[in-house]
Amino acid sequence: MKKDVLIIGGGISGVQSALDLAEKGYEVVLVDRSPSIGGNMVKLDKTFPTNDCSICISAPKMVEASRNDNITILTYSEIKDLIGSAGGFDVKIWKRTKYVDPDICTGCGDCETACPVEVPSEFEQKLSDRKGIYVEFPQSVPLTYTIDYDNCVGCAACERVCDAGAINFLDTSQVIDLEVGSIIVATGYQMMQPDEWREEYGYGKYPDVLNAMEYERLLSASGPTGGKVLKRSDGKPPESVAWIQCVGSRCKQKGMPYCSRVCCMYSTKQASISKGENPDLDTAVYYMDLRAYGKDFQQYYDKAKDKGVRYLRGRPSRVYEQSDGKLAIEYEDTEKGEVKTDVVDMVVLSSAILPSSGNDKLSEILDISLDEYGFFESKDMLTAPVDSTRDGIYLAGCAQSPKDIPDSVSQASGAAARALMPLRDRKRKGRAEKKPERDVSKEEPRIGVFVCHCGKNIANYLDVEEVAEATKNMPGVVHVDDSMFACSEDAQTVIKDAIKEHHLNRIVVSACSPRTHAPLFQDTLEEAGLNRYLFEMSNIRNHCSWVHSDDPEKATEKAKLLTKMAVAKAKRLSALTEEEIDVGDRTLVIGGGPAGMETALSLSRCGQKVTLVEKEAELGGKLRRLNTLFPTDIDAREFADSMAHQVGDEKNIRVILSAEIEDIEGYIGNYTATVNGEEIEVDTIVLATGFKEIEAEERHGYGKDPRVMTQLEFDEALSGGGLGKPENVVFINCVGALEEERPWCCRVGCGNSLKNAKEIKQRYPDANVYILYKDMRVFGKREEEYYMDVEGDDGVIFLRYSTGQEPEVVTGKDKLQLKVHDNLLDEDLEIDADYVVLAMQLEGDESAPILKKMLKISSDPAGFYMEAHAKLRPLELPSEGVYLAGGAHYPKNISDTLAQAEGAASKAMVPMMRGYTKSEGIISVVDDELCSGCKMCISVCPYGAIEHDPEEGVAVITDVLCKGCGSCASVCPIGAIDQKGYENDTIMAMIKAALLEDEVV
């Protein structure tokens, strides 16, 4: 098999990388060792900070991957061997047999019912059992069954009940030879089992001590308890639950020194969801620093506190079971300096994110390095975070270090961009040719209805023949047939023949879910020369036979009605087209900081043309003001120079300095930007406008005394060298942050204070350096380690203060005087200082209010752009064609910025390398004759797809931007907008078909 890219690991990162590449026309093989792709994300109940249902948002991505012609999914498979080099790798993949033919298996589940073997379900964290033949979870991709060879007793009960004949005990595993140009490693993580390293917490010993993933499954509505949190000891709901943070993280002796980066937030999520469901539940989180560092994280944490989740600062020393069965937690409350024992019903351990179990072996096969913990090593942690130590092999997601979902998918897109480098000259798959279609617009509806038995899945619970019979007399219906499996290969031939023989022009299939099966039938329609939108499904299985299995008579009646409703809809269907518009290769990158430069470099190296505009007179952005970079201490200016130099070398990049953007008009493929009076035509836009410090005003004596300066000013002073010989330097973190007016966390302030404190200590070893902080939020790779060194070896003094007890600075005389209440010592302290450095709150760049108007996009109250989806689409804006990189999305360190910039480039290249973008078929249309120009629709369109035409006084929909939600059709106060495929008349007809006995559909 010869393909372009191999992706190892089918979690959310792997899937994202695969989609990014496949959409550009590259052929990808996605390998996962589990029976289904999905990884860890699909096991989560909800995701912070939006409380999105995790499986609900990841399943569509998985389905998208499985339906993409350019992606080959190999599950239950592992990498065996690799030779070659970038551009030409030869890989051997061991594909284990599932003993079930995926092309025949319909996923009906009869075999599962028949199987007598029960083993603990890995997916459910062994909290419940699965059968010997199983799918991991209902949304599995591929949705085919797997026989677990190790546990199969060979009774063949499954084979006997499989009507489709999908089970083959003689099938064998095989080795697949694969040639690819580049490889992405996305092997994810595993969660530490806290029984060895942290045995003092009683995991494995007490049934009500759980790890966080187990708790996730208890919360999940589709989990083993149906979403009810119940104690394992007695099956009753707990009255109190405690979360213990940093179990195995941030601890050299008993685990890993690094911060696992996600635990503070998922514990907050778990606690607040539990509390929300049962306000009487006592919830407490025992933590060291609450690292709510990401976009909207702090607000999420604040909300949890408001709900009544208690946060106690202290690392428990042990958990033990009392005689009454309750669990006692011993800890020191470091805010009060008291040793206490709390008693709870259930303890959840936020155990460390560990490298995936196969990393060792894989690193040998791929010949790439691991770091000391077992994560894959980046070529350069700061400047090339997604490159492995071997050319042609790239890293995505938690394979490199722990990270949350948006950081993972950003990096996955970044890895996809990097993986293009060795493939630049390869020919990509072009536009698929359109099959000729029969014009049915002038024909009367001739509807063909196919009713499916689904083996016994429908036929056992309702009378399929009766449903078929009742449908025959419906007006417009000219052909009715029933079939054993409507989705089978031969049934497609039957449908195609019927279309020809009876000159059918609308097809209804009464079977299972359109969500899983409609595309298959739609392909069949296309093959028979019919437009794929002339199709409607009624779901008489999932929504009828399976859920009404105790009442066949009523189920049959309902199936008739569902079919009648589908016929009513089918009658009104018309052919829809997915409009294509050309997208060229020109990008406007706004902002010449590291994010903008990296995006431009990545685009240019892949052959795209870039206009990079920067408002200042030189490239570099914030790098020009920083002294060194956290946590590598490299020189920021040198780094900026090096990047600017590379930008200068690229022929595809045109740089416009001192640029002012006067206007941007148009949409993807058709933007015109006016920059310094010049009109520039581009196809896509990347916003890399960064962030800025908020006005310091007179906080902590700023403005009254030059020795009080902001972090950036101090960085400038450090690189200028003119500090004198300071004896005392005080850093105050969170200035203007975590307050009611600006509740968010700036994400990078703690790290900046640390690296500057270290710099002072190195330059002036005798100086006293203080860092006044609220929570020390260093979470990235090597950041916690850096912090430990600064605290230990460098002897920087850390004082913790609370919001509302802000340090006071008295200016005047020769030294600044600083008063602070240390909430760990519970003491008022006075410190003399030569310099007070304010780590200012950060907010969006001042260009945001202007640009968001031009581009019809929105920003949050902090002035950061609102991405299309907080978890899965962090690099895109809702309007296609506009992308986000770096601080414009939210402040982030250089490593995350560069990975995200690569990702933004990858996203922008999707439509550009494909050469076109396509509208949805189901979109809204405006009737110009009716539209009265009230603009209601414009205000509600989440995609900025509707514009007002001032000349005609009507709304105009840009087809390619419309995603087809139909809310404008509902909002229009005079019915001037309708939604194709879901027209008002169609919906009304379905209502009538459902309710009125003699209504002629």
Partner 1 sequence: MADNGFEPKIIVFLCNWCSYGGGDLAGVNREQYPTNVLGIKVMCSSRVSPEHIMESFNDGADGVLITGCHPGDCHYIDGNYKTFRKIGLISKMLEDLGINPKRLRLEWISSAEGGKFAQVMREMTEQIRGLGPLDLKEEVE
Partner 2 sequence: MSDKLKIGFYWCAACGGCEISVLDIDDMILDVVEKAEIVFWPCAMDPKYEDVEKMDDGEMDIVFVNGSIRSDENHEMVKLLRQKAKKVVAYGSCSSIGGLFGLGNLYDNDELMEYGYNTPSTDKDGVMPLDDNMVPEGDLHLPGLTHHVRPLDEVIDVDVYLPGCPPLPNQLEEAFPALLSGEVGKYDLISQKSVCDVCPLEREEKKIPRLYPIQEKKLEAEECILDQGVLCMGPATSGMCDGPCPEVGHPCIGCNGPVRGVKDQGARMASALGSVLGAEGEERMDEDEISEVVKSVRDPTGSFYRFSLPTSYLRYKRRDLHE
Catalog residues that contact partner 1 under the rule CB under 8 A.
50-57, 59-60, 109, 138-139, 220-222, 226-227, 513-516, 539, 541-544, 546-551, 554-555, 557-558, 561-562, 565, 868-869, 878, 922, 940, 942, 963-967, 969-971, 979, 982, 984, 987-988, 990-992, 994-996
Q: Does 120 bind partner 2 (CB under 8 A)?
A: no
Residues 975-994 that bind partner 2 (CB under 8 A): 975
> Cβ 63 to partner 1, closest distance in Å?
11
Task: Give Cα 451 distance to the centre of its chain.
Answer: 38
Contact 545, 457 (CB under 8 A): yes
> Which of partner 2, partner 1, none interacts with 963 (beta carbon under 5 to 8 A by kind)?
partner 1
Give me Rg for the CA atoms of the chain: 30
Q: Does 934 bind partner 2 (CB under 8 A)?
A: yes
Q: Does 936 bind partner 2 (CB under 8 A)?
A: yes
Choosing from 135, 386, 568, 972, the residue that interacts with partner 2 (CB under 8 A) is 972
Q: Does 953 bind partner 2 (CB under 8 A)?
A: yes
Look up tokens 């070896």; give the residue. 793
Q: How far apart are CA 271 and CA 283, in angstroms?
A: 6
> Cβ 850 to partner 2, closest distance in Å?
16
> Cβ 984 to partner 2, closest distance in Å?
10
Q: Does 930 bind partner 2 (CB under 8 A)?
A: yes
Q: How far apart are CA 337 and CA 355, in angstroms?
A: 35
Q: Does 849 bind partner 2 (CB under 8 A)?
A: no
Query: Residue 141 corresponds to which tokens in the numbers above?
Result: 């991709």
Nearer to partner 1, 13 or 979 (CB): 979
> Which of partner 2, partner 1, none interacts with 549 (beta carbon under 5 to 8 A by kind)?
partner 1
Distances, alpha carbon 443 to alpha carbons 33, 436, 571, 1001, in Å: 51, 17, 11, 17
Nearer to partner 2, 303 or 609 (CB): 303
Q: Which of 509, 488, 480 is nearest to 104 (CA)?
A: 488
Element (H, E) at 82: strand 77-85
> Cβ 9 to partner 1, closest distance in Å?
23
Q: Nearest 10 degrees: CA dihedral of 836, 837, 843, 848?
A: 110
> In this structure, which amino acid lies at residue 523?
D
Using the rule CB under 8 A, give the single segment among 335-343, 476-484, 550-558, 972-980 that binds partner 2.
972-980
CB-hemisphere CA count at 13 Å for 366? 32
Query: Residue 14 corresponds to which tokens in the numbers above?
Result: 């792997």
Q: How far apart are CA 228 and CA 224, in angstroms?
A: 9
Q: Which of 249, 247, 258, 255 is nearest to 348 (CA)?
A: 247
> Cβ 695 to partner 1, closest distance in Å?
32
Nearer to partner 1, 299 or 719 (CB): 299
Contact 312, 284 (CB under 8 A): yes
Residue 535 main-chain phi, psi, to 5 deg = -135, 140
Nearer to partner 2, 325 or 975 (CB): 975
Q: Does 971 bind partner 2 (CB under 8 A)?
A: yes
Residue 769 main-chain phi, psi, to 5 deg = -120, 130
> Cβ 955 to partner 2, closest distance in Å?
10
Q: How far apart are CA 710 and CA 703, in angstroms?
A: 10
Q: How far apart are CA 941 and CA 998, in angstroms?
A: 38
Choosing from 279, 430, 677, 973, the residue that interacts with partner 2 (CB under 8 A) is 973
Query: ∠ at Cα 244 (238, 246), nearest 5°?
Result: 155
> Cβ 833 to partner 1, closest distance in Å?
44
Strand 882-884 versus strand 684-687 pairing type: parallel
> Which of partner 2, partner 1, none interacts with 939 (beta carbon under 5 to 8 A by kind)?
partner 2
Provide the 10 A C-beta neighbour count for residue 361.
12
> Which of partner 2, partner 1, none interacts with 116 (beta carbon under 5 to 8 A by kind)?
none
Q: Which of 855, 853, 854, 865 is nearest to 891 (CA)?
A: 865
> Which of partner 1, partner 2, none interacts with 230 (beta carbon under 5 to 8 A by kind)?
none
> Cβ 54 to partner 1, closest distance in Å?
8
Instruction: Give the contact letters, 275-314, x = binds to partner 2 (CB under 8 A), - = no.
Output: ------------------------x---------------
Provide the 10 A C-beta neighbour count for residue 765.
9
Using the rule CB under 8 A, give the single segment among 241-249, 727-735, 901-909, 963-971 that binds partner 2.
963-971
> Cβ 661 to partner 1, closest distance in Å?
26
Query: Residue 780 corresponds to which tokens in the numbers above?
Result: 């990235």
Nearer to partner 2, 33 or 889 (CB): 889
Nearer to partner 2, 364 or 949 (CB): 949
Instruction: Give the contact letters, 854-873, x = binds to partner 2 (CB under 8 A), - = no.
Output: -------x------------
Q: Does 87 bind partner 2 (CB under 8 A)?
A: no
Q: How far apart are CA 185 and CA 183, in angstroms?
A: 6
> Cβ 988 to partner 1, closest distance in Å?
6
Q: Which of 614, 580, 583 is nearest to 681 (CA)?
A: 583
Query: ∠ at Cα 824 (822, 830), nearest 5°?
Result: 20
Nearer to partner 1, 21 or 55 (CB): 55
> Cβ 967 to partner 2, closest distance in Å?
6
> Cβ 932 to partner 2, closest distance in Å?
4
Q: Which of 141, 140, 285, 260 is nearest to 192 (CA)?
A: 260
The residue count for binding partner 2 (CB under 8 A) is 22
Cis status, amide bond into 49, omega within 30 of 0: yes
Nearer to partner 2, 56 or 343 (CB): 56
> Cβ 545 to partner 1, closest distance in Å?
8
Q: How far apart are CA 912 and CA 910, in angstroms?
A: 6
Query: ∠ at Cα 811 (810, 814), nearest 5°?
Result: 120
What percent of the chain is helix, strand and coil (3-state, nearest 5)? 30, 25, 45
> Cβ 514 to partner 1, closest distance in Å?
7
> Which of partner 2, partner 1, none interacts with 222 (beta carbon under 5 to 8 A by kind)?
partner 1
Nearer to partner 2, 221 or 974 (CB): 974
> Cβ 782 to partner 2, closest distance in Å?
34
Choosing from 232, 625, 948, 992, the residue that interacts with partner 2 (CB under 8 A) is 948
> Which of partner 1, partner 2, none interacts with 565 (beta carbon under 5 to 8 A by kind)?
partner 1
Nearer to partner 2, 328 or 940 (CB): 940
Contact 348, 212 (CB under 8 A): yes
Beta strands in 688-757 (DSSP E): 691-693, 708-710, 728-735
Residues interacting with partner 2, by CB under 8 A?
299, 861, 929-936, 938-940, 948, 953, 967, 970-975
